[in-house]
């Protein structure tokens, strides 16, 4: 269903168009003149405006230009009995999607309206597609045969048939967005939009306007009405990643959307109803955040209707050979790669299986990519792993004052102990480097510098 504004100073024409469009299943608002039309577009975002060209006061061209300034994504069809080539060209140059001349045939008008709405829909789909491509997850398909992943597959198949809110938790790099996509594309909503939003990617002042949209003049820089991501996801799924990064004020608004399924744009007064499947994700334990007072308890329970906890790569190491093979094919097949690496040396695979992978699947993919780039043949040899992955990760308990008769490699022992402590601090801090640095009594800069030696991604 589309929202359409009819603008005509003749009541009979307004009534005729309203009846026609409502029968077609559209939501219709009517304005008797250009002034009322401009008031309407200031308060709502319309999919289409049908405006008479010649009206007293603000005429059709004035309405068209104002709409394109306030709501540039709105399609506009002009109706006139005074058509000339010049007026038609002028209207199209000003942004009209089409025009029709009085008297017109009903079928002709329907065709023009449907074409204009279809063009607008395609533009929206292109925007969403570009957004999805830009935020594409680290790997394209689920890879794994472990018991842990089989359980996740089964849960996805079950959850995808409901509209209940899902909360995905797990360490960074475990594939939370991939799970959200799998739920969406296996659901009855698969033909609808899939919209992703990282709640930690924008400053607090921009989060609300990005999610809920805004009206022109709502704040400095709001030069036109804009739909938010909840509206863009109507009929589909919205994936809210890093939900723990939201502020208490925004959490209140998200709670309302979950409870009432409506919201208001920033600077707006009209309630907007949406039909959206909400999937949230966090690499922090939200129940712990609730205890700390940084996350609302009522929102947590609303989100946690269906919890999905993703296993770390350490918990499904039997999947590593499959993942390595998948990444080798994916990376070698890229257009910017001029070499094809088909396999890895058994010693390399043994080392990869022994590595703790604090960055999970994302870290593994980055590692495979580096190894492919550095390789000179079709096989990745053990020599390439020097300084990147070691088969054994000794902790500080392995540092001893006893020196074997054949000596020891002090640099390697100290390096491995440092890596182990950095990794454990990151795990304990839920992946937050600032908190991990505090646990080790390091400055954030020092922690980051040390960690980048082992995980430069």
Q: In this predicted model, what pLDDT tens digit does every residue of 284-321 receive, in sequence order? A: 889 989 999 999 999 999 999 999 999 999 899 999 99
Average pLDDT over residues 53-70: 88
Report the chain's terminal Cα–Cα distance, integer Å. 45
Highest average pLDDT, of 139-148, 299-308, 375-384, 427-436, comes from 299-308
The CATH architecture assigned to 394-457 reads Orthogonal Bundle (1.10)
Provide the CB-side half-sphere exposure for 321 (13 A, CA): 9
How would you classify the pairing of strands 3-7 and 272-273? Answer: unpaired
Fold of 155-311: Rossmann fold (3.40.50)
| CATH code of the domain made up of 313-391 | 1.10.8.60
* CA distances (Å), origin 8, targets 34, 50, 205: 8, 8, 40
Report residue 184's pLDDT band, with 50, 70 and 90 as the boundaries: very high
Closest by CA position to 142, among listed 132, 153, 134: 153
CATH 3.40.50.300-classified regions of the chain: 155-311
Q: Which tokens hold the place of 105?
A: 């045939």
> How long, in residues, is the chain?
457
CATH 3.40.50.2300-classified regions of the chain: 3-131
Containing 62, the helix (H) or strand (E) segment is helix 60-70
Q: What is the mean pLDDT of the chain?
A: 84
Average pLDDT over residues 414-424: 82
Q: Which tokens hold the place of 22?
A: 């409502």
Query: What was the pLDDT predicted at 305?
Result: 95
Q: Which tokens hold the place of 216?
A: 């022109």
Residues in contact with 129: Cβ distance below 8 Å, sequence separation at least 6, in sequence order: none
The matching CATH number, chosen from 3.30.1300.30, 3.40.605.10, 3.40.50.2300, 3.40.50.11540, for 3-131 is 3.40.50.2300
User: Locate tokens 């640099």: which residue?
Assistant: 411
Average pLDDT over residues 439-457: 80
Name which of 73-82, 158-167, 191-200 the model is least confident about. 73-82
Closest by CA position to 271, among listed 109, 44, 38, 30: 44
Query: What was the pLDDT predicted at 434?
Result: 85
Query: What was the pLDDT predicted at 118?
Result: 84
CATH 1.10.10.60-classified regions of the chain: 394-457
Average pLDDT over residues 224-242: 92
Average pLDDT over residues 125-133: 53
Query: What was the pLDDT predicted at 203?
Result: 80
Fill in the DSSP letter of residue 310: P
Q: What percent of the chain has pLDDT over 70?
A: 87
Residues in contact with 319: Cβ distance below 8 Å, sequence separation at least 6, in sequence order: 143, 144, 145, 146, 149, 313
Q: What confidence tens digit (pLDDT) does each residue in 24-49 have?
A: 899 999 999 989 998 898 888 899 99
Helix (H, G, I), strand (E, B) or coil at 30: strand
Q: Which tokens hold the place of 2?
A: 């589309």
Closest by CA position to 124, among listed 177, 59, 75, 77: 75
User: Is residue 84's pLDDT more than 80?
Assistant: no
Query: What was the pLDDT predicted at 82?
Result: 66
CATH 1.10.8.60-classified regions of the chain: 313-391
Q: What confidence tens digit (pLDDT) does each residue in 363-410 have?
A: 999 999 888 888 888 888 888 876 565 444 444 444 555 666 666 667
Q: Are 304 and 167 in contact (CB under 8 A)?
A: yes
Residues in contact with 436: Cβ distance below 8 Å, sequence separation at least 6, in sequence order: 422, 425, 426, 428, 429, 447
Report residue 137's pLDDT band, with 50, 70 and 90 as the boundaries: very low
Containing 167, the helix (H) or strand (E) segment is strand 166-169
């Amino acid at each position: 269903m589309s929202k359409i504004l009819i603008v005509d100073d003749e009541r009979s024409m307004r009534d005729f168009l309203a009846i026609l469009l409502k029968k077609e299943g559209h939501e219709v608002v009517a304005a008797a003149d250009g002034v009322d039309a401009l008031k309407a577009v200031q308060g709502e975002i319309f999919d289409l405006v049908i405006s008479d060209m010649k009206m007293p006061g603000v005429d059709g061209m004035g309405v068209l230009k104002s709409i394109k300034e306030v709501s540039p994504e709105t399609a506009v069809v002009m109706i006139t009995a005074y058509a000339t080539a010049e007026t038609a060209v002028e209207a199209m140059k000003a942004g009209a999607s089409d025009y029709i001349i009085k008297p017109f045939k009903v079928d002709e008008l329907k065709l023009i309206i449907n074409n204009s709405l279809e063009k607008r829909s395609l533009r929206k789909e292109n925007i969403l597609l570009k957004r999805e491509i830009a935020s594409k997850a680290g790997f394209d398909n689920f890879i794994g045969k472990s018991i842990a992943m089989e359980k996740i597959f089964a849960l996805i198949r079950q959850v995808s048939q409901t509209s209940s809110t899902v909360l995905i938790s797990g360490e960074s790099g475990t594939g939370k967005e991939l799970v959200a996509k799998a739920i969406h594309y296996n659901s009855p909503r698969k033909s609808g939009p899939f919209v992703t939003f990282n709640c930690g990617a924008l400053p607090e002042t921009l989060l609300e306007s990005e999610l809920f949209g805004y009206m022109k003049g709502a704040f400095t820089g709001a030069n036109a009405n804009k739909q938010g991501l909840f509206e863009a996801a109507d009929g589909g799924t919205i994936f809210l990643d890093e939900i723990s990064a939201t502020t208490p004020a925004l959490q209140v608004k998200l709670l309302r959307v979950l409870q009432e399924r409506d919201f208001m744009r920033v600077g707006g007064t009209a309630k907007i109803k949406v039909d959206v499947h909400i999937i949230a994700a966090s690499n922090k334990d939200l129940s712990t955040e609730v205890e700390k007072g940084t996350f609302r308890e009522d929102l947590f329970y609303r989100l946690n209707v269906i919890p999905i906890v993703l296993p770390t790569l350490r918990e499904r190491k039997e999947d590593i050979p499959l993942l390595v093979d998948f990444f080798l094919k994916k990376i070698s097949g890229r257009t910017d790669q001029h070499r094809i690496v088909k396999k890895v040396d058994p010693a390399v695979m043994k080392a990869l299986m022994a590595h703790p992978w604090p960055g999970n699947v994302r870290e593994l993919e980055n590692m495979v990519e580096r190894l492919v780039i550095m390789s000179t043949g079709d096989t990745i040899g053990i020599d390439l792993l020097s300084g990147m992955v070691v088969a054994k990760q000794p902790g500080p308990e392995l540092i001893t004052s006893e020196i074997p008769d054949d000596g020891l490699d002090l640099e390697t022992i100290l390096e491995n102990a440092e890596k182990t402590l950095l990794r454990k601090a990151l795990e304990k801090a839920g992946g937050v480097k600032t908190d991990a640095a505090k646990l080790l009594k390091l400055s954030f800069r020092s922690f980051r510098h040390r960690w980048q030696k082992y995980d430069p991604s």
